[in-house]
Chain A
């Protein structure tokens, strides 16, 4: 029996109708110095083009889940499949290749302060060995999309928090990723800037990118009907598809309290 089917019959995985981009089978993660497991028996299937919000309190395992997906950590148990590849079986040299197919956005932006906006975004293409003229064309195009065309040659540190996050999103999108992973992308921003960031993520989603956002920002949870996966204590406690009602306050409260 295929792992996906087996997991489905255990009731842990929502079926993927349009072909899975991400599949987690009974994934557990224990940090060497952790008091309790960061993830426990997590089963998840995310289809191509989905917009998934990972919700849950601090320490619920949202960031750990994302770290597994961009190969910063390895699962202690179970399997993580990304774009059809079992991440546990990746050779060291293949990790870089997988990362080039995904974009990652962090709460603290992770920009290089001494580089300009252009160079920060160009870095994602430089590591792929793209031609200079191709890099210039694509970087300018994506900076225009995120509304930073006029700040191309400014140092990243000269920008506001919202602008820095838009640079980080531009860096993630410039490689035209199949999957965009966002870890608390609006955590450091006020409501207005958070809305701008959310709109950029929605634009990427509309173009077909699979977007996964880990957040406890109520605005992100409330904005529109999208799939919400609630984690608590490292477990999935709620997984509702996009067409379903958003998780109830009780579910969220229980998750937070777990």
Chain B
């Protein structure tokens, strides 16, 4: 009996889709646009997250040594810093290397030319990755490095990391808001498309009920069209995302490779894409369910 009913439901559902016309097309396109926007933002967020993680992992604390510390003294200070907990690795930079880095940071370093500055030896400290996530641990490490004999001053771009963290949180919030907004839009669009289908098929539904169709028999094909709209929209949106990504990935990848080394503009992982398709289906069910609920609530034909 279940097989017989299922085949009837699929048959009537397919007929609904065939006769869906403009509302169905509109619903699929709108769903695709919405889910494309959502996944495009998701792709940006995903890559920004990867980027910020890479940045924070590579950000070093810089210990400027006293001016009277020479190369051998710098190596001793490096060895002492290396023993501190939370330190991953340390490298010593000569005053000339420091000057080159300073010029680069000042976009050519015209201000440094001929100033006769004496640069100190520097120890660059890369903290352990676990420290990146904790501002308190970072601050404690900076204090500990500053307490090592021979260290004049410690610089660590904790503020920049905090700003990146805040930006990432803001993007997560915006992404969540966008996801809820788009989900609502998809639900409303699918619901209205199914509502129009119900109006178009009003006589057919009345005849089905007249010959004894249960609510489930009437509702199932409509729910099926809702699922089809949601999944269709999601697949169309992902197709558009794929096209957009393949067009942009090379350009963005080249831009990133100049500054960020091996980083590339990655697509969303397959499990997220699968989740989008399933989510599209769920939104379709919710949208269709709203219209079907209204139809059945209206009572007997």
A97 within 8 A of B: yes
Whether A127 contacts B212 by the Cβ 8 Å rule is yes
Within 8 Å of chain B (Cβ to Cβ): is A131?
A: yes
List chain A residues, Cβ under 8 A from B213. Answer: 96, 127
**Would A127 and B208 count as touching, CB distance under 8 A?**
yes
Q: Which A residues are in CB contact (< 8 Å) with B299? A: 92
Q: Are A123 and B211 in contact (CB under 8 A)?
A: yes
Selected A-B contacts with CB under 8 Å, 22 pairs? A72-B210, A93-B215, A96-B209, A96-B213, A96-B217, A97-B212, A99-B209, A99-B212, A100-B211, A104-B211, A110-B206, A110-B207, A111-B207, A112-B204, A123-B211, A124-B212, A126-B8, A127-B211, A127-B212, A132-B4, A175-B211, A175-B212
Contact in complex: A132, B7 (CB < 8 Å): yes
CA distance A100 to B208 in the complex (A): 11
Chain B interface SS verdict (over half): helix
Please determine whether B208 and A123 come into contact, CB atoms closer than 8 angstroms.
yes
> Is A128's CB within 8 Å of the partner chain B?
yes
Within 8 A of B (CB), among A64-84: 70-73
Q: Would A72 and B215 be within 8 Å (CB), given that A123-B207, A129-B1 are in contact? A: no
A104-B211, A129-B2 known; 16 new pairs, CB 8 Å cut-off, are A72-B300, A73-B300, A93-B214, A93-B215, A97-B212, A99-B212, A112-B203, A114-B15, A114-B19, A126-B4, A126-B8, A127-B211, A132-B4, A132-B7, A171-B211, A175-B211
Task: Assess the A128–B300 pair: CB atoms within 8 A.
Answer: no
Within 8 A of A (CB), among B183-224: 203-204, 206-215, 217
Chain A interface (Cβ within 8 Å of chain B)?
70-73, 92-93, 95-97, 99-100, 104, 110-112, 114, 123-124, 126-132, 135, 171, 175
Least Cβ–Cβ distance between A21 and chain B, in angstroms? 17
Cα–Cα, bound, A96→B211 (Å) = 8
Chain B residue total in the interface (Cβ 8 A): 24
- A-B interface pairs (CB < 8 A), number: 66
* Chain B residues in 8 Å Cβ range of A171: 211
Compute how far the CA of A38 lies from the CA of B17 in the bound complex, rounded to whole angstroms: 40
Contacts of A72 in B (CB 8 A): 210, 300-301
Whole-angstrom distance between the Cβ of B71 and the nearest chain A Cβ: 89
**B248-301 with Cβ < 8 A to chain A:** 299-301
B137 close to chain A: CB less than 8 A: no
Contacts of B204 in A (CB 8 A): 112
A123 to B203, CA, bound (A): 14
Contacting residues, chain B, for A175 (C-beta < 8 A): 211-212
Cβ of A180 to closest chain B Cβ, rounded Å: 13
CA–CA, A12 and B300, complex, Å: 29
Name the A residues within 8 Å of B210 (CB-CB).
Answer: 70, 72, 99, 104, 110
**A99 partner residues in chain B, CB cutoff 8 A:** 209-212
Q: Which residues of B contact A97 (CB under 8 A)?
A: 212
Chain B residues whose C-beta falls within 8 Å of the C-beta of A96 in the assembled complex: 209, 212-215, 217
For residue B5, which residue of chain A has the nearest CB?
A: A129
Least CB separation from A135: chain B residue: B4
Min Cβ gap B206→A in Å is 8
Contact in complex: B301, A127 (CB < 8 Å): no
Q: How far is the CA of A132 from the CA of B1 in the complex (A)?
A: 10
Inside 8 A of B8's CB, which chain A residues have their CB? 126-127, 129
Q: Is the CB of B215 within 8 A of A100?
A: no
